[in-house]
Amino acid sequence: MTTAVLEQWRALISSGCEELEVELTSQQLDQLVSYVEQLVKWNNAYNLTAIREPLEMIKLHVLDSLAIAKPLMQLNADRFIDIGTGAGLPGMILAILWPTKTIHLLDTNGKKTRFLTQFKHLHGLNNVTVFNQRCEAYKPDIAYDIVLSRAFASITDMLEGCQQLVYPKGFFVAMKGTYPHAELDAMPSGFSLLNCVALHVPGVDAERHLLTIQQQ
């Protein structure tokens, strides 16, 4: 990529973060630009995401992931697992933002987990661990404060398939587009919706919601 292109990406991420009231160091901004650069490179060979245009990747992937940072901070969590993380969304983006928090990324697609492992090593992100595994089969030594999903199937699938991953008083956090009335109506007993935040993603004219669910 040319310097001018990278500076354009940097400016778009920076302005989006200002709008989201998310503070980044210069190093973190560089790492987010590098993430987009690596995603574009790997996507040409491995089809990691259907979005091909880098500026759209920034808005629909990077800023979309950063839009949940402020609401997540309210939960005072230190250990996260991002299930069905795909290309590391939102987990890798949050790991760059929060270098002192433990963030594990889980996906069954080997091409995607190889990309994530390569990016982790490229930037020495020691707070990141990548697992190529199904969430139902994964048994952590230490439970998580938050199970996070962006592109996972339904809320019911997340709750039933990942119950073993979270502390009894931990949280299931789901990123959704439009408000998922039908999914919440079908939510299994023993769980309750604690909070739903309508998100605004800079440059994206579409509904976004962040749902926080807890076991009763």
Q: Select the more confidently predicted residue: 168 or 13.
A: 13
Q: For the segment 34-75, what is each residue's pLDDT rounded down to a tens digit?
A: 999 999 999 999 989 999 999 999 999 999 999 999 999 999
Report the pLDDT value the prediction gives residue 152, as an integer from 0 to 100.
78
- Once rounded to an integer, what is the mean pLDDT over residues 204-214? 96
Banded model confidence at residue 144, pLDDT cuts 50, 70, 90: very high
Q: For the segment 79-109, what is each residue's pLDDT rounded down to a tens digit?
A: 999 999 999 999 999 999 999 999 999 999 9
Minimal CA–CA distance to 59: which of 208, 170, 164, 215? 208
Q: What are the structural domains of the chain?
A: 65-215 (3.40.50.150)
Banded model confidence at residue 216, pLDDT cuts 50, 70, 90: confident
Q: For the segment 180-198, what is each residue's pLDDT rounded down to a tens digit?
A: 999 999 999 999 999 999 9
CB-based contact 154:186 (threshold 8 Å): yes
Vertex 214 angle, CA 208 and 215, to 5°? 145
Q: For the segment 147-179, what is each residue's pLDDT rounded down to a tens digit?
A: 999 977 799 999 999 999 999 999 999 999 999
d(CA 75, CA 39): 30
d(CA 3, CA 132): 34
- Once rounded to an integer, what is the mean pLDDT over residues 120-128? 98
Q: For residue 120, what is the enclosing H or E element?
A: helix 110-123
- Once rounded to an integer, what is the mean pLDDT over residues 140-153? 92
Report the pLDDT value the prediction gives residue 178, as an integer from 0 to 100.
95
